[in-house]
A and B are shown apart, each in its own frame.
Chain A
């Protein structure tokens, strides 16, 4: 009994040690902490989103994903010669140096140098050279023309002096963006400060989505974005101390086929599967309407998006007749292996699709793997069907990367070994196109062919979801899920919100 009393007393003392969080810091819960704060080498989404806050770029994008001026305006001197002028007044890096053309040149030259093995080099391979004209001006010379070239200039600009001195940017980022780096010493925590008003923002990694939700409810974090199961979003919506917002996103979910497989290589089978999946029901019942159906890789609002694509409506009867035409029936059912990742929500979606396919007589053997194994199999072509999503894509040159017959992994991402002379021809014509309008027209033709051939079944674009305490105002959600909304967000004093703290009511 003495031991039990000691235990109860310890519990009481420890509970008394619980410190309320600092109310001046805005805390954002992340599913994954950034892996690398050096933008020359960062490839994960969390790092890229946070690096956007720390650094600036030559080019940004408008609502149609067309490139617009970031820190520089540009003019096309010839199809292979672009001149960029930094906008005035230029910003300062956090070590007080003014950002100038030398910094831009040094950043691009570093990434273009093969010895530095930057993962961003391949996106810039058409650059012949980059030269400084004066303190505010620089020129890009290209190996070949591409009217979309400015859209590739999204590297975060780093100071030339620190690049030369091999500054450890991954530990001490020095940028000219709206935020400055403060601290990253605690595992899973990153502290930034907004230049404008000194507002501190702490990013806290909370991997478990349920725990992330509970932390938001208790006020241990103030806001979170995405990576929540629909039922958690529904639960948050029912809480009066939390606000939930969403907006259409551009992350594209799809089912991919192995075109070299005897079964899935048959267009009748692919069409049957497309007609057997009830996307509307999945979106309304499973995704809680937090998505909208997709007909192609890009939404129709995108500058290269197609507006009049044929959709594969849900029709089990049509699916069955297509399967019969392909030679499958109850006595000789179609059997497929469906691979997905070990993410519980992806498994749930795959299980639903498995069930829908069963209704038309397709027997699906569902297999989930950890990410490394799953992705390795997909790239090696060891699959019949799989589901994945393309996240954060902006420029339609990705069509070449995914669907050109010579883009097999590891060179490209033609994982399904799709080969279409017509698509290859259109992709070559895109390279010759003089204007973006010409390119857009060719990409629309290409998307119509893809919708006919169905190397992918487009599923949906998942919405961007944002949830915050009522003490947070002014956050604007972005379609690609970046954290630019933090530039304007305001943390209201909790005492100004009468019913902000209602934890006792849980």
Chain B
């Protein structure tokens, strides 16, 4: 297990460093100069140069990259070109909102998808199955930028149940979580259905039925335990996506998360903040995937054993 963890840690570090380098180079290749955006067109060449030196943008890109990695080794992500605040502080203000939204969306997706997927599998070919899969198809097909405003219209304006947007109250979390979680719920429901259908055909399930267990007991206690395995992998991958890819939902609901911060920073060419955001997202992906591997091993002893062989 220790070897397994060590190998995962090393590969995670390589991925993160690779991502950091790639993003650093790409953002410097994109047209658009942060000094122009900050000073506007009317600034004089001497003022531009002074700011460029102050921000370290006068150095060659390779030198800037070295400085960046040297700072990174000291856990210093640099300072925002605009607010002059440390990037770590800027990120720290946004990360709780992102975690909150991703967690709520995941919970929402699991709560919707689990009963739907199970009902669709157990009642295969019946109206329940068609209904659940139809819902699933809708969930995948409806884009968040449309679903968000529609939910606002229904729940905020017509019914008056939730605020339109913002993170001022717990109720403000409902609509963004549903919006973000809906597509994931749809994918998850399909995955649970197909995984459960496969397991329901196994010999041990037939044995459980032959022993006279109730259908509920067979499905929930025996079949679902194995059916969760591929679902856990999907959960891990999707949690990463929920943490890093909630940009549209964050913008629609004014959710002050990392996704909207990243888009703002790209538009302003605030290089250190963009790098910080991407580093955070890649870190989350790597961490979640490593955790998924570990959980997978815990849930399925066969994987743990084959890993240690």
Contact = CB atoms under 8 A, between A and B. Distances in A.
Given A15-B174, A220-B164, A36 B157 contact: no
Interface in A1-51: 1, 3-4, 6-7, 10-11, 14-19, 21, 35-36, 43
A211 B165 contact: yes
A133 interface: no
Interface in B154-175: 156-158, 160-166, 168-174
B13 to A, nearest CB: 31
Interface stretch (B3-11, B108-116, B130-138, B279-287): B108-116
A410 B48 contact: yes
A172 to B, nearest CB: 13
B111 A114 contact: no
Given A18-B169, A18-B171, A211-B149, A371 B46 contact: no
A115 interface: yes
B120 to A, nearest CB: 14
Interface stretch (B28-36, B200-208, B238-246): B28-36
A431 B41 CA distance: 22
A195 B74 CA distance: 45
B224 interface: no
A81 interface: no
Contacts of A121: 43-44, 47
B222 interface: no
B210 interface: no
Interface in A394-439: 401, 409-413
A188 B171 contact: no
B47 A36 contact: no
Interface stretch (A201-209, A324-332, A451-459): A201-209
Contact of A18 (B46, B93, B163): B163
Contacts of A78: none
A401 B222 CA distance: 77
A217 interface: yes
Q: Is the interface of B mostly helix, strand, loop or mixed?
A: helix
Interface stretch (A246-254, A288-296, A298-306, A374-382): A374-382
B37 interface: yes
B15 to A, nearest CB: 27
Contact of A506 (B84, B94, B110, B158): B158
Given A215-B165, A506-B157, A375 B36 contact: yes
B41 A410 contact: yes
Contacts of B83: 35-36, 170
Contact of A115 (B50, B160, B169, B268): B50
B197 interface: no
A214 B174 CA distance: 17
Interface string B107-145: 010111011000000000000000000000000000000
B252 interface: yes
B170 A14 contact: yes
A211 B269 contact: no
Interface in B252-288: 252-254, 256, 260, 266-269
A73 B38 CA distance: 33
A214 B171 CA distance: 17
Contacts of A205: 254
A63 interface: no
Contact of B82 (A36, A118, A210): A36
Interface string B84-118: 10000000011000000000000010111011000
B22 interface: no
Contact of A220 (B45, B153, B161, B166): B166
B61 interface: no
B260 to A, nearest CB: 8
A99 to B, nearest CB: 26
Contacts of B93: 187
Contacts of A503: 157, 160
A416 to B, nearest CB: 14
Nearest to A4: B115
A35 B40 CA distance: 13
B30 A372 contact: yes
Contacts of B171: 14-19
B42 interface: yes
B111 A7 contact: yes
A370 interface: yes
Contacts of B256: 186-188
A410 B41 CA distance: 7
A119 B108 CA distance: 48
Nearest to B170: A17
Contacts of B254: 188, 204-208, 211
B251 interface: yes
Contacts of B48: 410
Contact of A214 (B47, B156, B173): B156
A218 interface: yes
Nearest to A118: B47
Contacts of A208: 251-252, 254
Contact of A119 (B47, B111, B164, B166): B47
Nearest to B152: A214
A402 to B, nearest CB: 10
B199 interface: no
B303 interface: no
B170 A43 contact: no
Nearest to A17: B170
B210 to A, nearest CB: 27
Most chain B beta carbons < 10 A, residue from A115, A118, A218, A377: A218
B294 interface: no
Contacts of B14: none
Contact of A19 (B50, B84, B115, B168): B168
Nearest to B93: A187
A88 to B, nearest CB: 34
A437 to B, nearest CB: 26
A190 to B, nearest CB: 13
B51 interface: yes
B169 A122 contact: no
13 contacts: A6-B111, A14-B170, A15-B171, A17-B170, A18-B169, A43-B40, A117-B47, A119-B40, A122-B43, A220-B165, A410-B48, A411-B45, A413-B41
Interface of A: 1, 3-4, 6-7, 10-11, 14-19, 21, 35-36, 43, 114-115, 117-119, 121-123, 125, 170, 186-188, 204-208, 210-211, 214-215, 217-218, 220, 370-373, 375-377, 379, 401, 409-413, 503-504, 506
List 3 tightest A-B contacts by C-beta distance, closest first. Answer: A372-B32, A18-B171, A117-B50
